[in-house]
Amino acid sequence: MNGPRMDRWLLAFLYVLAFVLLREWLVPVMELTDTNYLGLFLLFIALSFLLALLNAKWWISIPVKLLYVLWVIHYVFFGKAFFSVETINYLLQDLLSNISILLNRDWMDITNPLRTILFYALLWMTTYLIKYWIEYRKSIFLFYVMTVIFVAFIDTFSAYSADGSIFRIMLAGLLLLGLLSISRLAARHNVSVSRGIFATISIPLLFVIIAGGAFANVLPVLEPMWPDPVPYFKSLSEDAGEGGSGSGVSASGYDTDDSVLGGSFVQDNTLVFEAKVRDKQYWKIETKNTYTSKGWEQDSPTGAIAVQNVNEELKDLQTTTADTPRLEAQIMMKEKFPFILYPYGTRKVSADSDVFLSYSGSTGQYKTMNDDSEIELATYGIEFQEPVYSLKQLRDTSMDEFGTSSEDLSPYLQLPQQLPARVTELAHTITEEQDSVYEKTKAIERYFGRNGFTYAQQNIAIPGENDDYVDQFLFDTKRGYCDNFSTSMVVMLRSIDIPARWVKGFAPGEIKRNATGERVYQITNNEAHSWVEAYMPGIGWMPFEPTIGFSGQTDIDYDLDLDINDPATPEMKEKEQERKKNSQKKKPVKKETNFELDKLIKDVTTWIGNHVWYFVGAGAVVLFIGWRFYVARKKWLPKVLIRNYKSKKMDWGTFTKQYRSLLNQLDRIGFKRNDGQTLADFAIEVDNHFGGNNMRQLTSAYEKGLYGGDLVNHEWVALKEIWEDLIIRASG
């Protein structure tokens, strides 16, 4: 069905319809994954379709698209509209570091630029598929059905509401299907349909679709025959959860008693609170400081207890903060607690009631008090600034600085007497390669992901009388949930003299549409979580997430010190070096070469950067000369060809190539052979122009080989001379 191309305007219209359909894929993806820059993605699709419409050659369309993707990466991640050497350099290094990440199969560590590139690659392929469906298959049913299923699925199982979307899909999709099947019919019967006729045929189609859509819109909607699956399944699992409260099994959720950790843990979907906030946040409640080999005990709040009213700026700030934008969170409690659930960087708590906050420095808990009694707030607002840590500063943290710290960190170094020595030894082994406090901490945080630990909630060991909870997890069971991971990390950090504490709270939860239709994060008892805070000298307490499957780091923006001239800083480079250090044990040789390669690339890019205008100028000159040469190729190419074939052994293969090149050359000087014209006929035409019968001789030899199958009995030498003679004449 590869007939002549469709009418260009029709094709353009079909692409617009396909664009509408593809947009319906992108919008929910953007909404549900906190991805921004929808416009840039749509622009890319539009660009791809435009190039497809213009039938651009691959050597135009591919560079254009690549350049666009590069520019988007650049614009999104650096906020600059134009390329600069620094950013290109940075991107290169980022991609390099990703290569090692990919080789290590640490999928979660892939950096955002690469993810974006991959997403663009996906879009690219999709647009290509759509082009194929529209222009060659002339059938897009599969894509249409998939779009409907996808949007219906998203609508059912997520907070995304596809009411308008499904209507747009129906209109655009059915119109697209109808128009395509008309042109498919036309192509099958080899009939060319003029634009006017096409429009006439399309009118009933348009009418049916619009009438059908309108009719469907006013029809009464039946109640669903089955219950909405999501709450249904949830209620089922909640029922299941009720029975399971025997010994050793605890329902998930926030619990103040952590003195005995371990045991299985049952899903509990009860909603604890809803948070209206822009991004995912970890909700902190308190920290615990005393590890007992079996679990955590809370000392009675010691030290200063700060008391202040709500709606005032908090005096006691837990984290130092750079100038990040001030964000707001609205918390709606479903279960009542006499304390605040707060994100990192909290600056202010606002509530209606006449309430004051009692903050204990040792537990990090903000209790809500009214006079002398504890009070439970139903709703409150929080203003916060997401903490930003300078990576450069983090890398400069040194173990020596703990001595000079003014804060009393001794409670955070507490360890039970009976802690097995192998825990300490392990901690030393993991961290001995690292210098800074931060790198040591990260090394321990990463340790769990790479050494055969598994995340599980059922059948988790409870330490026996002579067992240590951490020791048992690290060396015997290697399976557990957040408490196992976080406790182990705290204990290991303490064993190498890094102050650390155990944090309790809630994980970010999932974004859903609540009863009033707002998009909020819903946090259930399943989101009860524990993680780690470690003290970075000169910086303060910083959260870490050792639990497998949780990505604490995505919620904390690391500063991208874009001062590339300072070779030590950028995060990506940082990461890469860490990674190299980690792999040092395994492949010491490779590390060396990698460093040199790095340096080489850096030198080269810097040098290119310094001479960029020479390159641009030289490039332009080369391009211009190349273009002139290309245009004039009918003059010089025959001479090149003759020289090329001079020394070649003459046989059928060579002769075929010669003959083809002659046809091409004749084509370039204006002898066009129609599809229906035979070579012999064409040869007569050519010979009439040049005189003689050279072309006829060559052609009859070619025919003898091609149609007669005689590839051997030819006068190769004579043919070569004839060919040379003719191609020279055809060049002048």
Binding site for other proteins (CB under 8 A): 189-191, 656, 660, 674-681, 703-704, 706-710
Q: State the CB neighbour count (10 A cutoff) for residue 140.
A: 24
Between CA 376 and CA 369 the distance in angstroms is: 8
Residue 436 has phi, psi (to 5 degrees) of -80, 160
Between CA 645 and CA 664 the distance in angstroms is: 16
Nearer to other proteins, 30 or 684 (CB): 684
Cα radius of gyration rounded to whole Å, the chain: 35
In 498-540, alpha helices (H) = none
Q: Which two tokens stand for residue 124?
A: 């690219």
Nearer to other proteins, 115 or 660 (CB): 660
Distances (CA, A) of 33 to 26, 44, 159, 511, 535: 11, 19, 12, 9, 32
Q: How far is the CB of 688 from other proteins (least distance, A)?
A: 16
Classify 502 as helix, strand or coil.
strand
Q: How far is the CB of 676 from other proteins (least distance, A)?
A: 4
Q: How far is the CB of 181 from other proteins (least distance, A)?
A: 20
CB 540 within 8 A of CB 318: yes
Nearer to other proteins, 192 or 459 (CB): 192
Q: Is 67 exposed, middle or buried (0-12, 13-18, 19+ CB in 10 A)?
A: exposed
Q: How far is the CB of 661 from other proteins (least distance, A)?
A: 13
Nearer to other proteins, 85 or 706 (CB): 706
Q: How far is the CB of 169 from other proteins (least distance, A)?
A: 37
Q: How far is the CB of 696 from other proteins (least distance, A)?
A: 12
Q: How far is the CB of 708 from other proteins (least distance, A)?
A: 3
Nearer to other proteins, 322 or 680 (CB): 680
Nearer to other proteins, 105 or 189 (CB): 189
Between CA 530 and CA 287 the distance in angstroms is: 9
Nearer to other proteins, 619 or 653 (CB): 653
Between CA 687 and CA 670 the distance in angstroms is: 14
Q: Which helix (H) or strand (E) holds 357?
A: strand 356-360
Nearer to other proteins, 189 or 315 (CB): 189
Q: How far is the CB of 117 from other proteins (least distance, A)?
A: 38
CB 482 within 8 A of CB 269: no
Distances (CA, A) of 425 to 157, 399, 413, 474, 494: 47, 18, 16, 12, 12
Nearer to other proteins, 546 or 705 (CB): 705
Q: How far is the CB of 720 from other proteins (least distance, A)?
A: 20
Between CA 212 and CA 235 the distance in angstroms is: 38
Classify 305 as helix, strand or coil.
strand
Q: How far is the CB of 136 from other proteins (least distance, A)?
A: 15
Nearer to other proteins, 598 or 703 (CB): 703
Amino acid (1-letter code) at residue 274 = E
Please give the DSSP secondary-structure letter assigned to residue 224. Answer: P
Whether the CA torsion 243, 247, 250, 256 is positive or negative: it is positive
